[in-house]
Amino acid sequence: MGLFPKAIEDFGNAFVTMQEKRHSADYDPYIRLTKSEVSLDIAIAEQVIRDFAKERMKDRRAFCTWVLFKKPRN
């Protein structure tokens, strides 16, 4: 990840964080979320998407390729 521009790195990190939160919301019956927490997460997601979209196309494509073909961790 460190080879990509900061906005792309932030996008990747936010994606992982939001996916983990989504899985918790879907499968953890004990999780309780407040409206303000969810609103903040939505604002963060929207911002990282806007920032990602501003990066050069070649960097965005390289990131997408890296995500598709990187080796999974064991």
pLDDT in tens, 45-63: 999 999 999 999 999 999 9
Segment 3-14, tens digit of pLDDT: 899 999 999 999
pLDDT at residue 2, rounded to an integer:
77
Average pLDDT of the chain to the nearest whole number: 93
> For residue 6, how many other CB atoms are within 10 A of its CB?
10
pLDDT at residue 74 above 80?
Answer: no
Q: H helices then E strands: how many in the chain?
A: 3, 0
Q: For the chain, which residues make up each domain, given as ranges?
A: 6-69
In this prediction, residue 71 has a pLDDT band, given cuts at 50, 70 and 90, of confident
